[in-house]
Amino acid sequence: MNYSKKIDRNILSSKKNGWTPGWFDCDRFDSELIDSIMAFQREHSLSDDGIVGPITYRRVKTHRLFEEDFIPKKRNKRRGEKHIVYGGNKFPIKWEKVILWDDHGGLPAKEGCYYDWSKKPLRQPIQFVNHWDATLSSEACARIINKRRLSMHFLIDNDGTIYQMLDIQHVAWQAGSKLWNTNGIGVEISNAFYTRYQSWYEKRGFGPRPVITSEVNGRSVGPHLDFYPVQLDALAALWAAVADAIVIDLDVCTTKGVCEKCTSFTCKPFINHYNLTRNKIDCSSLDMQAVLKKALPLTV
Ligand SMILES: [Zn+2]
């Protein structure tokens, strides 16, 4: 693709996502901007096509929040629900803090960014997809996915607070294809991934994140930031509550990469985003068996 085509693509992307050339220290849409985007992409180990697509947008937005010393709102101090919502009904979860989309301080999915199934029969999802959000907090994640016109059922914040953005009955645009979305449920566990963001967590009082090297599709990933233990406890409670509510097996896929059986719904219900597509590496560091072991005693 030549420079002028790339410039056109970036003008479209900037209108859609609300970024400006200033985010890359440039003042207009020109070849200098393309070079600057490419430099940013190389610095973040992204493919350097010079176009601000969805992945680059998320990275640059996170980078800006970090530079601006983003402070999440103090919305997590309040007592939360002890339920998740499926088909308009509340189902119990063995976790202290769940904040629903319509609670004070909730993070609702944006209208028009999911398939509204309120007039349809009860949806019966068969797959639960784990993602990491590659940004600083669930609040930042909600902003990014709403802006990108995507959606997610659940978010898990740095302190283990679970946000439900959307009734499980509705179809979230989370897994990358209509078939997977229609049959799935998604969670984004907050984790900014790059070790350069460690100082933000320490400054905000969350303490340092574990740093590890993981593997997906036979390739080494990292070293990168990993989840906090409290996030994994929250995830285990969420898996158990979801398995009880929608009545699916509480069991996991352990393939460390694309899994043909996952892509055709013949695998275990609890999977990672990387099981569905080669383009994704989340959540390469998640020990599925360890979370499962924690989740099993939490079912009703
Ligand atoms: Zn599988």
Q: Tell me, in angstroms, the distance from the centre of ligand 1 to residue 133's CA.
A: 21
Q: From ligand 1's centre to the CA of 127, what distance in Å? A: 10
Report the pLDDT averaged over residues 195-219.
95
Q: Ligand 1 centroid to 254 CA: how many Å?
A: 7
Separation of CA 255 and ligand 1 centre (Å): 6
Q: How confident is residue 105, by pLDDT bands cut at 50, 70 and 90?
A: confident
Q: What percent of the chain has pLDDT over 70?
A: 97
DSSP state of 87: T
Cα–ligand 1 centroid distance for 285 (angstroms): 16
* Ligand 1 center to 81 CA (angstroms): 32
Which residue in 10, 55, 129 sits closest to 1, CA to CA? 10
Q: How far out from the chain centre does Cα 298 lie?
A: 23
pLDDT in tens, 24-40: 888 899 998 999 999 99
| Whole-number pLDDT of residue 63 | 87
Q: How far apart are alpha carbons 63 and 3 in whole angstroms?
A: 25
Centre of ligand 1 to C-alpha 265, Å, is 8
From CA 76, how far away is CA 64, in angstroms rounded?
A: 23
- pLDDT > 90 in the chain, percent: 78
| Range with lowest mean pLDDT among 27-31, 179-183, 264-268 | 27-31
CB-neighbour burial class of residue 287 (10 A; exposed 0-12, middle 13-18, buried 19+): middle
Q: What is the mean pLDDT of residues 118-125?
A: 96
pLDDT, position 79: 64
Q: Provide the pLDDT confidence category of residue 104 given band limits of 50, 70 and 90.
A: confident
> Is residue 78 scored above 60 in pLDDT?
no
Q: Distance from the CA of 143 to the center of ligand 1, in angstroms?
A: 31
ipTM computed for the complex:
0.98
In the chain, where the domains are located: 3-52, 83-298
Of 141, 131, 132, which is closest to residue 58 (Cα–Cα)?
141
With a CB cutoff of 8 Å and minimum separation 6, the contacts of 279 are none
Segment among 16-30, 189-203, 226-240, 284-298 with least mean pLDDT: 16-30
Q: Tokens 């797959």 appear where?
A: 127
Strands 98-100 and 171-172: unpaired
Q: How confident is the model at residue 262 (pLDDT cuts 50, 70, 90)?
A: very high
- Find the mean pLDDT for residues 116-127: 96
Per-residue b/e over 67-105, b at no fewer than 16 CB within 10 Å? eeebebeebbeeebbebbbbbeeebebbbebbbbbebee
For the chain, the average pLDDT equals: 93
pLDDT of 220 higher than 80: yes
Tell me the mean pLDDT in the region 155-170: 97
Q: In 167-259, which ranges are continuous DSSP H helix?
A: 178-182, 198-203, 229-246
How far is it, in rounded angstroms, from Cα 286 to Cα 283? 5
pLDDT score of 300: 77
pLDDT at residue number 72: 83
CATH class for the domain made up of 83-298: alpha beta
